[in-house]
Every structure is written in C-alpha cells, then in structure tokens.
Structure 1
C-alpha cells in the first residue's frame, strides 16, 4: 500500500527518509530545487538517538572520520583577547559539516532523483496525489512528504501561508566562507557588541573556515531567495563596525557566492499531516539554529516516519498519527532553546559582561556534563521497525 512516495528536498531529513523508505520496500522519489546536492552549510550535531540512526545506516565510522573537531566557543574583546571559553565537546555526540553529512546520506540512499525541479501544485484524492512540477511532466504519487525547510513549498501548498506557522525569534543570522587566518583553530571565536555577534568557525578537520553574523532586529521584509538582498541587509547591519575583525570577515563573507542568510525562526504546527501529505524536518518543526538540534530532529523524525509507514503496511492514516505522537515530545523539548541566543548575542553591554563572567566559571563545564547525562538517561529508546505482515 502507498509504495510511490515523493519527497521534496534532498536535505538531511529528506535523504534519511528516502533511505529508510527504500530499506522498507517503498519506492521514494526525491525532488530538489537545486541542480545538485547542496554542499555548503555549517556544523551540525549528531547526538543521542540520532547517533543510533546513523549507526543503523552503517555510517557512524565515516561520520566520526569527518567530524569537525571543534573544542568549543571562545569570546573575545575588541583587541582579540580571549575573555572566556566554553568547552562544548561531548564524547557521546559528533559534529559534522552539513554538506559532508548530506553527501554520506546520498551515497547510501537508493532513490529516484529529480534535481533542478520543484513542485508547482498538489491535488490529492482518495487514491493518491497528482503532482505538477516546474519542469517534469505531472505524475501521480501515493504520498507526498515535504522535507524542504523552514520556507517549505509543500507546507504552503498543502497547509497554508508561512505566516501561520513560522514564529520569528527576534534575530537574523548569516554564514559564509571566511579567511581561516582570522580565527583560532578548533574554536568558534565570537565578538559582541550590544545585540550583535560576529564570529568565525574553525574546524580542526577542514581547511575552510566559516564567518557568522547574528543581529537583533524587528521583523524585516525580504525575499528568502534573493542573495543580493541578503548581502545588503548584513552589510547595513555590520558595515559600520570597525571593531575586532568584523570588517575583514564581512568582506570575505560578502564575496562568497554561497552566502546564506535567514531569520531565526521556529515552525509550530498542531499537525504535520493533511490527508496523503505530511512534513518532516524543518518544514514541520524547525527549532531554529540556536537550538543546535536540527540534524538530530531530522534524522530521528525521518527514521520514525519511514518506520511507522512500514509498521502500518503503508497505511498513511495510521502511520502519520503514530509518527506525530512518537516524535512530537522530542520536538517540543528541543524547541525550548533556553539561554542559547542570550549567550551568543547579549542585548546590552552589561549583559555581555555578565555572560563573560559566567562563561569563565569552571561550573559551566560540569553543568553541561550533568545536563547531557540527564538527557541521555531520559531519552526514549529508538524502536526497531519491521514491516507489517
């Protein structure tokens, strides 16, 4: 039942879903707007149950080989003197560059791919979904899954406008390639002025560094696909800042054709499914980059969705409900991002001073270790899914 499944988005969630659907005997097709796999992106954390998903895919050793080897966050003053450091290493998790993880997932996924195309329309009935594309001829699928990010096209077509589901979190961010000589190896170096952060990410296992920019703002109107407009907004926000190495990082970032900019936002939905159409990954529950949980939620959510479809014999009415019930508690927990944004982007100079004092306390590392142990102990076991008989 419901063998032919279209997935929109060759993302972490989309490729993981396609992998497990194929393993369970379904026939996944992945449509991706980009002409090829997206190779860029920042570091993402594979932790808790997501580690087990990767291990069951036979990829854990390769993910560890490509780990970023970043020790933690370093906060500096205008003279580039370290004022505080936070060690974020966790032996039970792995950080890997997003593009590296996507490439690995693609290698082990047996699916049909439609690159350089996008969904124009969805019309579902009792027997399936008629899908029209920008370029490919219209086709019939049994089910459609949106794994196409916070600005999901599938969600817009099947559920409604973005404004109904995306909650703005008062900040905008950007990242792009940077000159590696501007930051310390194996550290994320951050410099703050009130309401702003400029930083550089130096992986121990990658020659290419990443520049980061975050600023606090009222909502801005912009086209999320207009890179020239994105660069203009970041230039306006940081172009008059002569302190630290902000100007140098800005120059290299604005020269990067893969420059990325967006709002810090969260997707909140009462249901991830509508008939034969459902969502997975950031399209369904984006917790924002500040949560650090995007890859974890995508890997575990896609694994559960494919597994529930297999366990229900392809019956989407049963599977979509079980998928929602099983995965939503983790989503709710990870969307509570706590003090992360205030830690990275203090609103005031006084807040920055308090942050630096707290970050210097040895207690910070101990608190982090205790929190990780509590989370590991309270984690729900990852089920093994077998096809329905």
Structure 2
C-alpha cells in the first residue's frame, strides 16, 4: 500500500475553520477530479483505491462539451490534447478492409464520433493524479468494507487500514461498485444486451490512425483504434442474451471469444492471436439507474451513480462535470443535504439526456444478418458521401453520432480568496 501526501496543500480555509474531510472511493477520473475541486474550495480529501497502484490501462475515451470546459477551468485542456491518441476520425470498413465511409474527427468541443480530444483512460487518470497528488491523500491497495453514519459524520472501515471518520463519503467507482452496494443495494444496472472484450494488440504496418469499425453479422463487430504509445486498442463486441460471460475466468472467456469470432474475417485473426498474452477486460455493457444519488452523508459520482454506457460517449464528460458541480455545491453551504440535493437537481437533466442511446443502438451497428450488414454499409456510405456532408453543414446538423455534451449550463462557483 502506498499513499500520497496527507495534506490539503491549500490555504483558502478561513482562520479558525477546520477543513471538512471527504473520503472518495475510486481513483479513476471522477474521484481525482472531485479531489481537485474540493481542494480549490479548501476541503481535505482522501482518495482510496482498491488497485495497488494507479491504473494506466484502458481504452480510448473522449471529452466533450461541458466536460471539456471543466478541463479548461482546471488548466488541463492543453495537457490532455498533448497526451491524445491522434485519432483522425471514424471509418467503417468492409470484409477486406476497404473503406466504406469516413467521418473526420470533430473540430470543436462536441462534434463527431471521434472527438477533438481523444485520450486513453489511463492517460487522463495520470494527468488528474499528477495535478492532485500533492494536495490529496492517496491510499492505494485498500478498499472500503463498511460505512457507519452517525451524528459526527461517517466512520469508514477498510480491508487493511484502521477505521476513520469523515464528514462525507463519495463513491466514485464503476458500474458494479462494491462500495455503492453498502448503501444503495437497490442500484439498477440495466443490461443493453451487448458484450464487449477490450484488449491491446501490437501495431502493424497495415494499421492507421483511424478508428476502424467492421461488422461481421450475427451481432458481431470489431474495432481497431490508435493510441499514443505505439499499440492498437481493439474491441470484440457481440449482441447476446447470454449472461455471466464477463464473470468467467480468463481461459473460459478466451475460449468463448475464439469460437464466436473465428470466422469474423478482416483483422480478427490477429486480435484472436493476441488473446493469450494481451491485457483483457470483458464487460457486459449496461446503464446505471437510481432515483437518488445520495443517502445521508454518502453520495455517488460518475459511473457509480449514472453510467450512460460506452455507447453514448458521455461517461467521461459526465464524470468531470459531476465532480465540478458536486464540489461547487458542497462549498456553497454548510448543509450537506441541501448541497447534495442541488447537485442532483443540476446534474439529472444532463444525465438523462446523456443516457439516451443513439437511434437503433446497440443493434444498429451489430447487424445479425448479412442483409443487415449490407444495409448498414449502404446507409453509412450515403451519410459519409461528400454531398451528404455538405448538406449537413448547410443545415447546421451535428456530425455523425454527436452526443448531447453541451446540454448543461455550467455555473461559476465562487472560489475563496487565499489567506
């Protein structure tokens, strides 16, 4: 277990006041982002992470709209751009790799299936950690095992560390959050009937800097995406009603993937060959729905509260915006119930918009028949044609698959003057 510096590092607390203490469970994106903003407002934050060290793995993510504005206010936009994957845009490819349609990366805060700011999840986590490690206590290799709320706060028990008491606990974990289940056992994870295997494969001379998508019928799709470290991020996705594949051990998962994608064509053989050695994560894609994101002094943030699913492209932006809003509302009042209610009131319409799936998703890009594949390719071929793109530009239409990333007005929360 390692820990960062156990100090707020800020001098913005008024004389005679004790900084309010917050425990954040999860050191991905939402947790460190919240730690940054709480630090700005003079709060003392401890982030506990179950992994033994900062996770540097993960696939491509994008930051759009209000999420990008939050990065600007953190002074991180340029650093994120510099650490980007360099993805040029999105291409649909045929059985032999021929390009059926191309959609360039967005040129503003919002547009495009490929956003202007594309970065590996681990890279964004690293940047957020670097920005907060001197002002936040980080505890790696431990996890919350119990939460006991009382008049003075919440006492958290840990798998390894001694119990500690905090004014507030924030659960900033993933879809299947263990800590969330301690307080919100009723969380509804709605399956979208899509299984996705994520892995990293060696880059070859045939690879490009485009996000390439290939449909193989029978509800299967394969993607290859560039990164900034010289490898390729691959996915194998499958429409299926079978549950529990994500819980199998690795050999069983590899067996299922090889049998399922053996005849999928294109670049699939090299992806399957990499299954023996490549880091592999298999996920049953779903959305998290809850009628409330807080209970007493415990509040949910990011995917633990409202995962929209990777299909929407909005998870990272929601995490960044939610962290900003939660910290700002908490800083504005000594009444935590009032602050948490205000956080939900401001965020829920944005989340509800973000959780609306694109028309026909996920089935549209996972046709079950060859006829369906041909129909999809014909449709994207038309949408990607020069006349269609010109018409879309004239009508002011958003680019292909642009999510509602700007559907919230970000407030400017007052920041205390340094003492």
Residue 363 of structure 2 corresponds to residue 310 of structure 1: no
| In 1, Cα distance between equivalents of 2:51 and 2:129 | 15
| In 1, Cα distance between equivalents of 2:259 and 2:146 | 37
| In 1, Cα distance between equivalents of 2:128 and 2:406 | 28
| In 1, Cα distance between equivalents of 2:122 and 2:398 | 29
Residue 231 of structure 1: aligned partner: 254
Which of 76, 89, 104 in structure 1 is aligned with 2:93? 76
Deviation at 1:349, TM superposition (A): 2.0
Cα deviation code 1:312-338 (max 9, x no counterpart): 13x210111000000111110110111
| In 2, Cα distance between equivalents of 1:223 and 1:378 | 33
Which of 142, 157, 163 in structure 1 is aligned with 2:182? 157
Deviates more, 1:121-130 or 1:89-98: 89-98
Q: For the structure 1 residues 319 and 224, does the alpha-carbon distance in structure 2 shift closer, same or farther, using more than 3 Å as the test?
A: farther
Q: For the structure 1 residues 380 and 245, does the alpha-carbon distance in structure 2 shift closer, same or farther, using more than 3 Å as the test?
A: closer
Q: How does 1:315-334 map to 2 (within 5 A)?
A: 315-334=335-354
Deviates more, 1:70-79 or 1:372-381: 372-381
The CA RMSD measured in Å over matched residues stands at 2.5
Residue 411 of structure 2: aligned partner: 383
Contact map agreement 1:183 1:201 (CA 8 A) in 2:
no
Residue 24 of structure 2: aligned partner: 7
Cα deviation code 1:73-111 (max 9, x no counterpart): 222222222223233433334111111111110111121
Residue 247 of structure 2 corresponds to residue 220 of structure 1: no
Q: Which runs of 5+ in 2 are unaligned?
A: 1-17, 110-115
SS of structure 2 residue aligned to 1:85? strand
Q: Please, what TM-score do these two structures have when normalized by structure 1?
A: 0.91
> Which contiguous aligned blocks of 4+ residues in structure 1 show a shift greater than 4 angstroms?
222-229, 364-369, 372-378
Contact map agreement 1:2 1:142 (CA 8 A) in 2:
no
Cα deviation code 1:210-239 (max 9, x no counterpart): 11110011141256595455434433432x
Deviation at 1:50, TM superposition (A): 1.0
Contact map agreement 1:70 1:89 (CA 8 A) in 2:
no
Residue 298 of structure 2 corresponds to residue 274 of structure 1: no
Residue 135 of structure 1: aligned partner: 160
Deviation at 1:154, TM superposition (A): 1.9
Deviates more, 1:71-80 or 1:145-154: 71-80
Q: For the structure 1 residues 130 and 270, does the alpha-carbon distance in structure 2 shift closer, same or farther, using more than 3 Å as the test?
A: same
Residue 71 of structure 2 corresponds to residue 48 of structure 1: no
Contact map agreement 2:192 2:362 (CA 8 A) in 1:
no
Residue 268 of structure 2 corresponds to residue 249 of structure 1: no
Contact map agreement 1:178 1:252 (CA 8 A) in 2:
yes
Residue 362 of structure 2 corresponds to residue 341 of structure 1: yes
Which of 1, 14, 21 in structure 1 is aligned with 2:38? 21
Cα deviation code 1:290-348 (max 9, x no counterpart): 111111000001110011100113x2101110000001111101101113524432233
Q: How does 1:104-119 map to 2 (within 5 A)?
A: 104-109=127-132, 110-119=135-144
Task: State the structure with more CA Rg.
Answer: 2
Say which structure is richer in helix: 1
